[in-house]
Amino acid sequence: MNAVKIYYTMLHLECACMWRKQLQCLQGLMFFCLSVVFLPFAVGSDLNILQAVGPGYMWIMAIFASLLTADSIFSIDNQSGFLEKTVSAPDCLTAYYFAKLTAYFIFSSVPVILLTPVLSLLYQLSIFTIIILSITLTLGTFILNLFTLLGSILTLPVNQRNNLVQLLILPMITPVLIIGTMASYFTEPNQLTFSYIYLLLAIFLVAMFLLPIASIYLLRCGNT
């Protein structure tokens, strides 16, 4: 069985597992919806204020929503012994990691990204702002997922983690939060907007190259 077949088999298993935990996955989506819907009650109904505050607020809340299920990514596999068996098969480990990454992105981030344009209508954001929000959130949440998997691997030996993963990776993704938030404030195309997007894309490419290598190495070393 080649690597692609192993990946799709692992992805199917991960998606099935995430689907069984759909109530847990919905926590992030509900948190995002409620935080965005209730913001006007906190700052008032002034449209100028909402359009000024809304994009950055939605960006940060979307990132935080993707963090809520970070503690349970590898814990079940580790407790059941499936992780140890996967590590002992070198051909499966890389496919297992990327299947886990893909499934986590699909269930924790994609619903938030898809709902963002709908909730943006509450603030009457411009089409350009909504497009920028969607692009930067896609890049930002994927970077976050890469760091989340790394943080989850680093905290595997800890029995009572209690949001330890979130506390560990939050300082790491602070630059991503700042760049993504700044990019979302622009209501029309300009050079500075695209500069932020290019910078976010550069971080995405570097993270996509380095973090899987580090994560797979830590998985192999921690379970051998």
Per the rule left: phi > 0, alpha: psi between -120 and 50, beta: everything else, 190 is beta
Local confidence band at 182 (pLDDT 50, 70, 90 cut-offs): confident
Instruction: Mean pLDDT check: name the lowest of 37-51, 63-77, 104-118, 167-181.
Output: 63-77
List, in order, residues 6 or more apart from 18 with CB less than 8 Å away.
25, 103, 104, 106, 107
Q: Which of 23, 28, 43 is nearest to 148 (CA)?
A: 28
Please tell me the predicted confidence (pLDDT) of residue 200: 92
Take residue 120 and report the two structure tokens written for it: 């943006």
Summarize the confidence of residues 152-177 as an average pLDDT.
77
Q: How far is CA 29 from CA 123, 128, 142, 223, in A?
A: 19, 24, 16, 33
CB atoms within 10 A of CB 86: 19
Which pTM value belongs to this model? Answer: 0.88
Q: Which residue has the tokens 């009457």?
A: 124
Q: What is the mean pLDDT of residues 73-88?
A: 76
| Rounded-to-5 percentages of helix, strand, coil across the chain | 80, 0, 20
Could you tell me the pLDDT band of residue 24, with boundaries at 50, 70 and 90?
low
What integer pLDDT is reported at residue 13 of this predicted model? 85
Average pLDDT, the chain: 83
Q: How far is CA 161 from the centre of its chain?
A: 19
